[in-house]
Homo-oligomer: A and B are copies of this chain.
Amino acid sequence: MEYKQLSGREFPRFSGIKTFFRLPHVQSNSDYEIGIVGVPFDGGTSYRPGARFGPSAIRNISSLGRGFHWGREKHIFESAKVADIGDCSTVPISLEKTHKKIEEFFSPLVKDDKKFIAVGGDNSITLPILRALSKTRKQKLNIIHFDAHFDTYPAAWDCEYHHGTFLRNAIEEGLVDPKNTVQIGMRGPFVDYKDAEYSKKNKITVFNMDDIRKKSIQEFVKKLPKFDKGLTYICFDIDCLDPAYAPGTGTPVPGGLTTYETQQILRALKIKNLAGCDLVEVSPAYDHADLTTLAAMDTIFEMLGLMV
């Protein structure tokens, strides 16, 4: 099978069935190399819901997504077999059932050595993906985590799992190596600083907004650690971006990154084995003129650049 984008010459970019980047929609056990997959679930959200519509909205706008990467000087979709493998089945009203379904969906992918980019959905979808990855590969993962929040928050409302806990859960479950974990974009205020302290205590490398902007972005990216060992995973919560760049999200925080900055960081990363990525917390009902979905599409394209 050929994994080519639908041509804008035959079907202008506003037309056609909407798949990620106009790529073929195939079954998850097909012969692609990198699968982009929707995980439409927002049942872990504490403020604005709506990320369940993230995959659909990002598919729509990604018709604008061209394939040639200027910085890398290569055509992404000619360099690897990339496919839209549809959506993971979810249960909108049960986090437990959905987590189970997510783990079951991703485990065979991992076993098949497929790389993937999971498009959320809220950040609670990350945990079962990490379980699938870590348990199947039987190793702890390196994490590169873009976010405004630490996601090391304690349980809330007697619920161990919600959209602000994945990293704490993953560390406690032994899925992730905190010493090979980097957090980028953090900023306050906090409820009580316990989440920030958790990261510190676990020796996670944290780059908050002041760390990033102390000097120029070109200087900052030189400080990024190299991920030349083990399996690496990127979790990209769209709210690492400033609300001006990504209004359509659940818990926006002023003072965040620009899309130019996240592009620079993503292009500068050195990762030997990038097993998977996610892009979460796009809530289209709060978006305008596709600002947020464009940023999401652009980020997914950079992730593909890191994978091929």
Residues of A within 8 A of B (CB): 8-19, 25, 38, 40, 42-50, 52-53, 55-56, 59-60, 64-71, 73, 75-76, 84, 86-87, 89-95, 97, 156-159, 162, 187-193, 196, 208-210, 213-218, 242-245, 247-248, 251-256, 258-260, 263, 285-291, 294-295, 298, 301
In the complex with contacts A247-B291, A289-B252, A192-B46 CB distance below 8 A: no
| B295 and A254 contact, CB distance less than 8 A | yes
What residues on B are CB-neighbors of A64 within 8 Å? Answer: 47, 251
Number of copies: 6
What residues on B are CB-neighbors of A42 within 8 Å? Answer: 49
What residues on B are CB-neighbors of A289 within 8 Å? Answer: 243, 247-248, 252, 286-288
| Among B40, B65, B97, contact of A158 (Cβ-Cβ < 8 Å) | B97
Q: Given known contacts A209-B260, A254-B295, what 10 new A-B pairs fall within 8 Å (CB)?
A: A46-B93, A67-B189, A68-B189, A70-B196, A91-B158, A97-B158, A189-B301, A213-B217, A214-B218, A254-B298
What residues on B are CB-neighbors of A190 within 8 Å? Answer: 66-68, 70
| A10 and B156 contact, CB distance less than 8 A | no
| Among B16, B86, B193, B301, contact of A86 (Cβ-Cβ < 8 Å) | B16
| B254 and A162 contact, CB distance less than 8 A | no
What residues on B are CB-neighbors of A214 within 8 Å? Answer: 218
